[in-house]
Each structure stands twice: as C-alpha cells, then as structure tokens.
Chains A and B, each alone.
Chain A
Amino acid sequence: MNFQIATLLGQDGLTNGAIYALLALSILLVFTVTRILLIPLGEFVTFGALTMAAMQMGKAPNIEWLLLGLALIDCALDLYQYLKHRAESKKLKVIALKLSYVAIMIGLLNQLPLSEIPMALQVVLTLCLIVPIGPIMYRLFFQPLAEAPALVLLIVSIALHVSMVGIGLLLFGPEGARTEPFSDSNFRLGSVMLKSQTLWVILVSIVLIVTLFIAFERTLYGKALRATAVNRMGARLQGISPIFAGKATFALAAFIGSASGILIAPITTLYYDSGFIISLKGFVGAIIGGLVSYPLAAFGAIAVGMIEAFSMFWASSYKEIIVFTLIIPFLIWRSMNSHNVEDEE
C-alpha cells in the first residue's frame, strides 16, 4: 500500500460513494414524505443505464412500451374517475396531455438516428423516458393505499421491485451493458491519473445535492415537501396535497436513480438485476443517517463507498460481507441512543 494505490482506491471509493449518496438521499426523501421504503430505486438506476446503452447501439429502447403501457392504465383510471365523479373538465385536458407526451416520445425514439445524436440529447431522452414512470408508479400502486401501515407499503414496494427486475430482463435481455464515456480525456494531478468520468460523477452528484438543498430551502414546492415530511396531517391541513407530494418525490427519486445509472454506466458493466445491490448500499448509508438526517446519510454513503474500495483491495472475497456487516454496529448504536416513540400507527 503506497500513496498512489491509496489515491486510486480513494478515487474509486469516492465515485461509488457519490452514487450511493445520491441514492441514500432519494431513499430518505421518499421515506420521510410517503413512509415508503423505495426498494425499486435500484431498478431506475439500471433502467437509466440500459436505456442509454440501447440508444448508443442505435436501437429504440423497449422501455417506451413500458411507459406507454403504464400511461394507458393511468389514463384509463383517470377517465373512469372522471366519468364516475363528473369532475371538472380540466382532467380531460390532463389525460390528453399525458397521452400526447407519450406519443411524442415514442415518435422521437423511432424517428431520430439515436446512435448519432449528441450524448447530451441521449441523456435528456433517457431521463424523459424514465422519470414519468416514477409518478405513474406512485399513482397506480401506492396512492390507493396511502393510509396503509408502513409494513403494507414495504411489501408492495418489494413486490414492485421483483416485478421490475423481471420486466428489466424482458426489456433489456440478460446481457450486461456499458456506455461510452462522456469524454475521453484523463487528467493528471501530480503523480495521480484522474479519470474524467470520475470527475463527472462527483461533479454532477455535488450539483444535484446542492440543487436539492436549495430547492428544499428556498422554493415553495420544496417547502411543501419538507412540511409533509415533518407532519403529514399538519401539511394536509395547510392545503398541501399528499398525492402531489407522493408524485413529486417519486419523480425526484426516478430522476436521481436514472441519472445515477447514466453516470456510472461508462465505468462499469450493468445488468438488468444490478440495481438492487447498488441501492442496498445507498440504503446502508441512509440507515447510518437513521433514516432522518440528510447530511449523515450522505456521509454514511460515502463511507460505504470508501470501505468497499479498500476492502476490495485487502480482502476481495469478503468485500460484500464487510460492507453489509457495517450496518449492525450502527443499528445497535442508534437503538441505544434514541428513544423513538413508535410511529403514529
């Protein structure tokens, strides 16, 4: 172990840690606002990466059909409610808007020369495809049981994860995929080689975290979400729609998940089922933050990345064991230090 190896491993740990931190933050966000442990978050990571990879191979990614299917069910439900309750005609406009969005996306995917368009556009297209799946998922699977106990929500979340892994296999096939790096250049910092993708990952993560922070501190919508996280009933009495809060957090989670996937796709091979392990490590970070504290969760996630990198050097066979065993001392420590009253249910 010398300085150069330590920096290489540190760089690696920081890259993975940054991704885990992003995921830990979205797990935390979704949990505090909706009480749902978002286990399918990892699937958004793989969907993002694999959609991007499919585009770079010049194929229209099959995920468009998933989006179409979910949007159709969503609109059918909306229409049913409209007819049943004779709601305001605004609802019809919303349905038309949703359907035309999906139609435009599918049209774009099948008309554009996907492998030749600039990478920035590919990223935007990927995000436009995957982010809407988040809120639709909330609408279809969680909104009807928003008042259910946390355990029921967890079970639905697990079911959703399992079916999304299956859908991932169907849409993307069993083979791993990898995408082109954002740029080919490497940087030299003293004697250490820095990969440009690493810088991209860290930079984008920081920008995302700062943007989220500002959004939650300064904007009305951000404050509304925070209020819901603090006290759901109180927020509702203040006129904050829990449905809106749920959809917004799911959209954010889908956005962060797929963005993470796009970020790491050039440095690693991702499979349709890789997402779970990645989000699980983010979850370990969130646990270190006690599922309440954002800075602690981010710090914990980066620690997970670092420990992972160094244990892979010293004891590669036991890497996974070391990382996940980490959760035990933290759980003991937290349970000894906090005297939480059981949740309101």
Chain B
Amino acid sequence: MTPKKVISTLFLSSILLTPMAHADIKIGVVSSSTGPIALVGIPQKNTVPLLPTSVGGEKISYITLDDGSDPTATVKAFKKLIDEEKVDAIIGPSGSGNAMGVIQFVAESGTPMLAPVGTAAVVLPMTEQKKWVFKTTQNDDLIADALVDYMKATGVKSIGLIGTADPYGENWSKVMEDLTQDAGIEIVANEKFQRQDTSVTGQSLKVLLANPDAVLIAAPGSSSVMPQTTLKDQGYGGKIYQTHGAALDPFLRLGGKAVEGTILAASSMLVLDEVPSSDSKDIATKYITDYKALHGEIPATFGGNVLDAGLLLENAIPKALRSGKPGSAEFRSALRDALENTKEMPATQGVYNMTPEDHSGFDERGRVLITVKDGKWTLLK
C-alpha cells in the first residue's frame, strides 16, 4: 500500500466513523411528503423543525426520510434508519398501509415507533410485535362513538355510508357496523368510491334510494367533499356526517355552501378559540403560531400528530436515560417502557394515558363535535 493510499484510507474511515462518536439521541422521521398521501405527509414533514431539540441535557437530532407513499419504500427507509443510522425511535410513517408493513421490523430490532396514522389496526389487537408501536391519533372508534351518540340523541334510525375503497374507508365501515348495532341504528346502504374518481353519482343515487335519516361520509382529505356535494345536488335533505378525515380547511373551500351544517368529530385543534382553556389548548395554540411563523400557513391536524409524537418522546426520554446510553438496546427498551407509562400528558390532540393494552391513550378529551356554520368550523353546542 502506497503512503498516499494509507492516508486516503485513514481519511475515509475517519469520515465513516465520526457519526458513531456522537452520543446524541437520534430520532428517525419517515413521512409521505410525495405521492398519493402527500396531503397528510407534507404538514408532518414541516412539523419536524418544531420538534423538541434537546431534553435532559441531551441533544436530539432528527433524520427525515420521504417514502413517496410507497409501502416498499417505507420498509427501506425504516431498515436504513434502524440498521445504518441506529436511531433510538422512529416517528412515522404517514399512511396506514405503510405503517402495517413495518411493525415487524421495529419489533425485531426493538425500536419504538410512534405512528401518526389513522387506522387502529397498528395498535389493536395488541400483540407481542405491536408492543413497540404507539399511535398519536384518535382511534376511529373514539371518533365514531361521538358521532353515533349524537345520531342516537337526535333520533337518527337509519344511516347510509359512503367511504373510500382503502384502509381508511374499510375500517370506518367496520367500526360503524359494530357501533350502530348497539345503538339500534340500521345501515341501509354502504357504498365505496376511489379517491381519484371523477364522479360519485352512482353511489350517491344508491344511498338516496335507500332514503336514510343521515349519511356518513368516511374519506380522507379533499375526497370527502365530492360525495357530499353530489348528495346535495341530487336533493338529499337529511344530515350529513363526516369523519376526522375531512377536518381540513380545503374541505370548507371546496365544499362551499354544500357542506354547511355538516357534523363531524375531530380533535379540538380546529375550534381552538371556542374550547375552554386547558393545557392542550395552550400547546396547540403555540404549535399553530410557530408553524405559521415558519411556513406561512395554518397546519393541518396531521402535523399535530407528529408534534405529539415528539412531545411523548420528550416526556419519556429522561426516564429512559437512567437505564442506558442513547444508541444502546437498553435505552430503546427503556424508552418503550417509559412511553407505555405515559400518564396524563397533554399535547395538541388531547391528553395521553398509555397502558399496556392501549397504545393510543386518548379519552373523550381527544375529540369534540364540530359543525360547519357560515363557512367556518364551529363547536357544536
């Protein structure tokens, strides 16, 4: 080996070794900031600069990766974070399907994963693998529960469902079937559509023919608008309910007059001014102000889910530090235990109370009933 080669080898290896020398806490973030669920992923990616940067005297560094909404890319990103970057925890991914595919890998490597995804399937039913997964969104049944209660109270006897033909819509129709049975409400129509469909006339007519007292539309993002406008165009007069998937400002803009009077249940982030003051309210208000200062727009609630993941970690890391150094398996395992023992921790979406059975940890403080009045989100009274 020539001296030149020796020097370059030394130089190269020193570059390769430097990252190992840092004892920072490393958190991986995987979001879908491109592809079909970019609507969810972009506010999540934009929230990363607002996450806590140090806790208990330790610096936290974040490594953000994009999976392009592709489940295979999510697996690759997770493997990279776990094997190469040796992260202590992972926040993400954005999509329900993407999250289901990586549970096995986080469990094998013993890395806590905080999933800001909609489907409850990532934490329910609890298994040995799902022990490593925590979910920072309200479970569908918590939201559905509020809606069904309200339907029952207002005398709704039959409902029609229009949902997307994806995990989001499927899970909602499952949850609703269970809940409505107990409440004595009958589902008289259950129709599916694709997010990119240019028309839902057929589904809407089918629902209209069944003539239900109310209609629930379960679709994520702007796709929740078209079924509602079509129903209104065809002269449907009953109440229309939406899920927390519709809780975005484009919903109001796209729907215009047709979405007036819609009822939905979602986190209080939409109607912060009207809810009584609480710790959650203060945290959410600060988050929205900071986000607006940084990106010039109001964040969608999806971003709040990622911030909550950061806050949960901030809360758990000091406890975990007592058991091991960041980067070690002991630290990750202690971090998981600490996350599972989160008690009464307020964050943007509500108050977290984790238990070994419940890795989502919300109670009714995590949702409020909201309606649309004069083109604005208003607390339903």
Contact = CB atoms under 8 A, between A and B. Distances in A.
Contacts of A173: 42
Nearest to A320: B194
Contacts of A317: 165, 192
A332 to B, nearest CB: 27
A274 interface: yes
Contacts of B193: 312, 316, 319
Given A8-B201, A312-B203, A178 B254 contact: yes
Given A268-B226, A316-B191, A316-B192, A177 B202 contact: no
Contacts of A268: 197-199, 226
Interface in A145-189: 166, 169, 173-178
A278 interface: yes
A271 interface: yes
Instruction: Among B38, B201, B223, find the residue whose CB has the most chain A CB atoms closer than 10 A.
Output: B201
A269 interface: yes
A47 to B, nearest CB: 16
Instruction: Among B191, B222, B226, find the residue whose CB has the most chain A CB atoms closer than 10 A.
Output: B222
Contacts of A274: 196, 198
B226 to A, nearest CB: 5
B250 interface: yes
A12 B202 contact: yes
A302 to B, nearest CB: 15
Interface in B247-296: 248, 250, 254
Contacts of A63: none
Contacts of A5: 205, 209
Contact of B194 (A16, A19, A169, A319): A319
A267 interface: yes
Interface in B208-244: 209, 221-223, 225-226, 233-234
A271 B69 CA distance: 15
Contacts of B48: none
B34 interface: yes
Instruction: Among A9, A173, A175, find the residue whose CB has the most chain B CB atoms closer than 10 A.
Output: A175
Nearest to B254: A178
Given A176-B254, A269-B225, A316-B192, A264 B198 contact: yes
Nearest to A317: B192
Interface in A28-68: none
Nearest to B201: A12
A176 B225 contact: yes
B254 A177 contact: yes
Given A176-B250, A271-B196, A9 B39 contact: no
A313 B34 contact: no
B241 to A, nearest CB: 19
A309 interface: yes
Interface string A257-274: 000000010011111011
A176 B198 contact: no
Give the interface size bracket for A toward B: 35 or more
A12 B36 contact: no
B160 to A, nearest CB: 12
Interface string A310-324: 111110110110000
A311 B191 CA distance: 12
B200 A271 contact: no
Given A178-B254, A274-B196, A319-B194, A9 B38 contact: no
B206 interface: yes
Given A175-B250, A271-B196, A310 B202 contact: yes
Q: Is the interface of A mostly helix, strand, loop or mixed?
A: helix
Contact of B221 (A176, A177, A313): A176
A112 interface: no
A277 interface: yes
Contacts of B250: 175-176
Contacts of A271: 195-196, 222
Contact of A12 (B42, B199, B248): B199
A22 to B, nearest CB: 13
A326 B335 CA distance: 54
A314 B200 CA distance: 12
Instruction: Among A19, A169, A178, A320, find the residue whose CB has the most chain B CB atoms closer than 10 A.
Output: A178
A14 to B, nearest CB: 11
Nearest to B250: A175
A9 B221 contact: no
Contacts of A177: 254
A169 B32 CA distance: 12
B39 A175 contact: yes
Contacts of B198: 16, 19, 264, 267-268, 270, 274, 278
Contacts of B226: 268-269
Given A175-B39, A175-B250, A316 B34 contact: no
Instruction: Among B39, B202, B205, find the residue whose CB has the most chain A CB atoms closer than 10 A.
Output: B202
A9 B205 contact: yes
Contacts of A320: 194
A317 B205 CA distance: 15
Given A268-B199, A317-B192, A319-B194, A169 B223 contact: no
Instruction: Among B196, B198, B248, B254, find the residue whose CB has the most chain A CB atoms closer than 10 A.
Output: B198
Contact of B206 (A269, A309, A313): A313
A157 to B, nearest CB: 20
| 7 residue pairs, one from A and one from B, having the closest CB atoms | A312-B202, A313-B202, A176-B222, A174-B38, A174-B39, A12-B201, A268-B198
Interface of B: 34-36, 38-39, 41-42, 165, 191-203, 205-206, 209, 221-223, 225-226, 233-234, 248, 250, 254
Given A176-B225, A269-B254, 7 more contacts: A8-B205, A169-B38, A175-B39, A176-B250, A268-B199, A268-B226, A313-B201
22 contacts: A5-B205, A8-B205, A8-B234, A19-B198, A174-B38, A174-B42, A175-B222, A176-B225, A178-B254, A268-B199, A269-B222, A273-B36, A277-B194, A309-B199, A312-B200, A312-B201, A312-B202, A312-B203, A313-B206, A316-B192, A316-B206, A319-B202
